[in-house]
Amino acid sequence: MLDNLRDQAASSPFFQQEEPIAEQAPEGPPPRKTIDQLTGMNARQRLILAAMLLVVVCLLGTMALLVTGRFVLPFF
């Protein structure tokens, strides 16, 4: 029963109908986009944007502290 198992597998029409696969050069990973390509900004513009965001966050935090009464200005 198992004597000619390899012969049966090799003579199977499944293997005969396969077309040979053409050897293709393996494609590398797609090129990664840098932060410049994602935002469309250069380094100076990103620095200014980050500084503006820092100022806005600090102002909003200070305003939230003033509104909740956790921080009181000395001249009020």
pLDDT tens profile 3-23: 777 777 666 565 556 566 677
Mention every residue, 6+ apart, whose C-beta is less than 8 A from residue 49. 41
pTM of the model: 0.54
Domain range list for the chain: 35-68
DSSP secondary structure, the chain, as one string: --TTHHHHHHT-HHHHSPPPPPP-PPP-PPPPPPHHHHH---HHHHHHHHHHHHHHHHHHHHHHHHHHTSS--TT-
pLDDT tens profile 24-60: 777 888 888 887 787 888 999 999 999 999 999 999 9
